[in-house]
Amino acid sequence: MVANVKDKAVIVGIGNTEFSKNSGVSELSLAVQAIKVALDDAGLKPSDIDGMATFTMDTNDEIEVARALGVGELSFFGRSHYGGGAATGTLHQATMAVATGMAETVVCFRALNGRSGHRFSGGVAGAITTADAIHWGWYTPFGLMTPASWVGMFTQRWMHITGVTKDALYEVAKTTRDYGANNPAAFFYGQTFDRTEYDAQRSICDPLQLFDCCQESDGGSAVIVTTPERARDLAQPGVAIRGVAQCAAKDQEQMTSFYREEFAGIPEMEFAATDVYAMSGMQAGDIDAAVIYDAFSPIVLWQLEAWGFCGFGESGDFVLDGALRPDGRLPCNTHGGQLSEAYIHGVNGIVEATKLVRGTSVNQPAKQIDHALVTSGVGIPTGGAILGKL
């Protein structure tokens, strides 16, 4: 069955806070700042919001956000689980709410003190009190407990099977950094690197070195979604959601699906791609640019394969042809990605994908961008969306 949501929900406002390593403010403050920017962008008031969508990991209660911001009644609030896998999950929630009339205007947000507060690189060894602890307990005694270590494990096998080398990982990291170096909002603004510097970085978890890993950031991002009718009266050109999916696949674990017959692949993302293409009536060939979740450089490669931009094992050649660069087949992570702009769990990526369709990215490609892909995190239940002009 194909979901009947195409073009029934429209992005009309986007906002980011300043990104930093130490915000000096609460996560609630970051959330309401980002939402206020998005409301101003759309030409809406807080009282226009009647729905909210965020991550289960977000610490900001919807009612607290509503009170702080001056939102009135809420008729919808839905959360998506699994860390960065929830990035476009927020769009998924908002789209369903708006398309069905459960809410008219939904704000998707994510705000975190990812560097000065809880750090993901610290791993899952902290004081965990949830049932997740049992799951992580299969890894913590052996020391396999950080996102980099799980992704390192997948990457080693995927490189072994496909023969893709570090040249491709470098190309992803380097292209992304070059975009970030030209984005004043990016942490690495003005700071690029070359192959010698890339190779000289310390190893985190083989084969991942420092520049293959995203930063940890403080900041917030927000996206306002409403109906096409309402969107036409607002301040910005609307960016319609052509399709949006959320997917878990067989034998799925949270970051550690090591028990599949073959774990050099991301079937949950292939599932998401199939779903989004069916909803939108589109194919990989119709997509002009992308924001592909980049907590680590190799996961961009796997997603290029999952979304059908190239075949399995061909993503190395695809990117080494310059596909991700400004004049390439698929300009990608033009804000600098999470590797070089900020790690806001992919919601800054939705902001960037919206800008690409509006034509306002700081690194806007010369070619016409009618459709942009944006994806969620990898290794977990995940999702993606195709955005296009209203």
Partner 1 sequence: MTPEEHQLFEQKIYAYVGREVFSSQPAPDRINEAMIRHWAEAMGDKNPAYQDAEWAEQSMRGRLIGPPAMMYCWNQEGITAATKRSSDALTDMCDLFDQHGYSGVLGTNVKQEYFKEAGMGDQVFVDMIIDTISEQKATARGIGYFFESLATFSDQHGEKIGTQRFRVLKFIPAEGANSTVSSDEEALETPTRIASPRGHDNGWWWEAADEGRMLIQRCTACQTLRHPPRPMCGECQSMDWDSIESTMQGEVLSFTEIHHPKVPGYPSPLICAVIKMDEGTNFVSNLRGCEARDASIGMRVSGVMEQVDDKTMLPQFYPATQEA
Residues that are catalytic: 293, 343
CB 219 within 8 A of CB 31: no
Q: According to the binding rule CB under 8 A, does residue 163 interact with partner 1?
A: no
Secondary structure element (H or E) that encloses residue 218, with its range:
strand 218-226
Interaction pattern, residues 112-131, with partner 1; x per rule: CB under 8 A: ---xxxxx-xxx-x-----x
* Phi, psi of 389, deg, nearest 5: -65, 140
Q: In sequence order, what are the beta bridge partners of 105? A: 226
Q: According to the binding rule CB under 8 A, does residue 203 interact with partner 1?
A: yes
Q: According to the binding rule CB under 8 A, does residue 139 interact with partner 1?
A: yes
Q: Which of 67, 160, 232, 367 touches partner 1 by CB under 8 A? A: 160
Q: Which of 32, 53, 153, 172 touches partner 1 by CB under 8 A? A: 153
The C-alpha atoms of residue 177 and residue 157 are separated, in whole angstroms, by 26
CB 98 within 8 A of CB 227: yes
Q: According to the binding rule CB under 8 A, does residue 16 interact with partner 1?
A: no
Tokens 């080398």, residue? Answer: 165
Q: According to the binding rule CB under 8 A, does residue 192 interact with partner 1?
A: no
- CB-nearer residue toward partner 1: 56 or 138: 138
One DSSP character per residue, 172-186 reads: HHHHHHHHHHT-TTS
Angle at 380 between CA 176 and CA 321, to 5 degrees: 30
Query: In whole angstroms, how close is the CB of 207 to partner 1 at the nearest point?
Result: 8
CB 52 within 8 A of CB 75: no
**How many other β-carbons are positioned within 10 Å of the β-carbon of residue 260?**
14
| From 84-92, 152-160, 307-315, 352-360, span contacting partner 1 (CB under 8 A) | 152-160
- CB-nearer residue toward partner 1: 12 or 164: 164
- CB-nearer residue toward partner 1: 75 or 203: 203
Q: Which of 2, 67, 101, 133 touches partner 1 by CB under 8 A? A: 133
- CB-nearer residue toward partner 1: 103 or 213: 213
DSSP letter for 242, please: E
Query: In whole angstroms, how close is the CB of 178 to partner 1 at the nearest point?
Result: 25
Q: Which of 40, 56, 138, 199 touches partner 1 by CB under 8 A? A: 138
Which amino acid makes up residue 110?
Answer: R
**How many other β-carbons are positioned within 10 Å of the β-carbon of residue 184?**
7
- CB-nearer residue toward partner 1: 67 or 160: 160
- CB-nearer residue toward partner 1: 70 or 137: 137
- Please count the residues of the chain: 390
The C-alpha atoms of residue 84 and residue 383 are separated, in whole angstroms, by 10
Q: How many residues at the interface with partner 1, by CB under 8 A?
A: 45
DSSP letter for 341, please: I
> Residues 133-137: contacts with CB within 8 Å, 24+ apart?
135/253, 135/254, 135/256
CB 69 within 8 A of CB 46: yes
| From 73-81, 204-212, 232-240, 277-285, span contacting partner 1 (CB under 8 A) | 204-212
Q: According to the binding rule CB under 8 A, does residue 199 interact with partner 1?
A: no
Interaction pattern, residues 248-287, with partner 1; x per rule: CB under 8 A: --------x-xx---x------------------------
Contact residues for partner 1, defined by CB under 8 A: 22, 24, 115-119, 121-123, 125, 131, 133-146, 148-149, 152-157, 160, 202-207, 256, 258-259, 263
